[in-house]
């Protein structure tokens, strides 16, 4: 029988609670792995992906001989690493004579392989091969624009799947509001043919336009590459329906002291501290009282002056 181990420390409990299912899930992390053999080009591609996803990616540099994503039983090690690192997207690079510079992108559901797409890397240009003003370089962790151009992303099933995988790979955390000045990068994906996509990374430069909305210029900062689609595997219909389920109970912010009544509608409670009227000092703004005080002070002063002059005469 399998031994069920329960967390014994508060840290372990917090880790398990963080990985537990939620109504609104956290941002997807990326797992980057090397195959039995990788070329220099493919190693550079995996390193560039790690740099672009820094803060939301985990990279292993050791070779993995047992990972065969498209073969039966070859995804066991991949699912183990996914559960260990809590990553729901992976990028696996391998290089063989039959499939040179091969990159497999895939998504996980419940730490099991959900779908796969295999692409070949052509015309790769590293980030270091581009010259530009370093002041406009994108900041780490910033939200990107993702642009897909071409009818193939709507008509060709392989390109539609690649679009979904690339969107999950690059979008990062899902947020409701964005600051325009924080958008400093864009990923441009152009469908050249039904099996080929040009991918490039650009920096966004904001310039004055004479209006509230600034004028946007794109400066290519790299990396850039051609993705040639080779193999893909779609999820079965049952697994897709299971993964696409969403809870009807949306998390609501609890408002204090507000109730909902079927008859009276929305009601609020106001708490007023107990007032002690007898002990509360009242402001004294009456002019008559002020005049009496001034007259009393003046009489007292005259009396003191009179007694002082009388004493002086007696002494003489």
pLDDT of residue 256: 83
Q: What is the pLDDT of residue 37?
A: 92
Mind listing the pLDDT tens digit for each residue in 9-34?
Answer: 888 888 777 777 666 667 789 999 99
pTM: 0.73
The predicted structure's pLDDT at residue 313 = 59
The rounded distance, in Å, linking the Cα atoms of 222 and 127 is 4
What pLDDT score was predicted for residue 219? 92
Domains, the chain, with CATH or none: 26-232 (3.40.50.10480)
| pLDDT confidence of residue 173 | 79
With a cut of 70, list the residues of the chain below it in pLDDT: 1-5, 21-25, 247-252, 282-292, 308-316
Longest dimension (CA), the chain: 133
């Amino acid at each position: 029988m399998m031994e069920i181990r329960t967390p014994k420390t508060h840290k372990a409990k917090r880790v398990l609670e963080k990985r537990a299912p939620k109504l609104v899930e956290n941002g997807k992390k990326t797992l980057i792995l090397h195959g039995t053999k990788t070329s220099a080009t493919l190693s550079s591609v995996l390193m560039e992906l790690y740099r672009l996803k820094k803060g939301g990616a985990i990279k292993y540099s050791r070779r993995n001989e047992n990972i065969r994503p498209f073969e039966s039983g070859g995804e066991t090690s991949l699912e183990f690493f996914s559960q260990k690192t809590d990553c729901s997207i992976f990028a696996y690079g391998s290089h063989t004579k039959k499939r040179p510079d091969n990159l497999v992108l895939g998504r996980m559901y419940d730490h099991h392989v959900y779908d796969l797409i295999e692409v070949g890397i052509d015309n790769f240009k590293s980030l270091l091969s581009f010259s530009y003003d370093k002041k406009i370089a994108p900041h780490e962790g910033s939200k990107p624009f993702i642009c897909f151009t071409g009818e193939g992303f709507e008509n060709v099933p392989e390109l539609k799947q690649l679009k979904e995988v690339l969107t999950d790979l690059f979008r990062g955390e899902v947020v409701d509001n964005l600051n325009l000045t924080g958008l400093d990068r864009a990923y441009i994906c152009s469908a050249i043919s039904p099996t080929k996509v040009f991918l490039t990374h650009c920096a966004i430069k904001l310039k004055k336009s004479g209006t509230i909305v600034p004028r946007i210029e794109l400066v290519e900062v790299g990396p850039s590459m051609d993705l040639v689609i080779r193999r893909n595997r779609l999820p079965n219909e049952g697994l897709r329906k299971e993964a696409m389920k969403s809870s009807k109970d949306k998390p609501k912010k609890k408002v204090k002291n507000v109730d909902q009544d079927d008859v009276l509608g929305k009601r609020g409670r106001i708490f007023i501290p107990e007032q002690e009227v007898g002990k509360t000092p009242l402001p004294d703004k009456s002019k008559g009282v002020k005049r009496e005080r001034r007259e009393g002070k003046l009489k007292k002063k005259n009396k003191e002056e009179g007694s002082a002059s009388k004493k002086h005469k007696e002494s003489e």
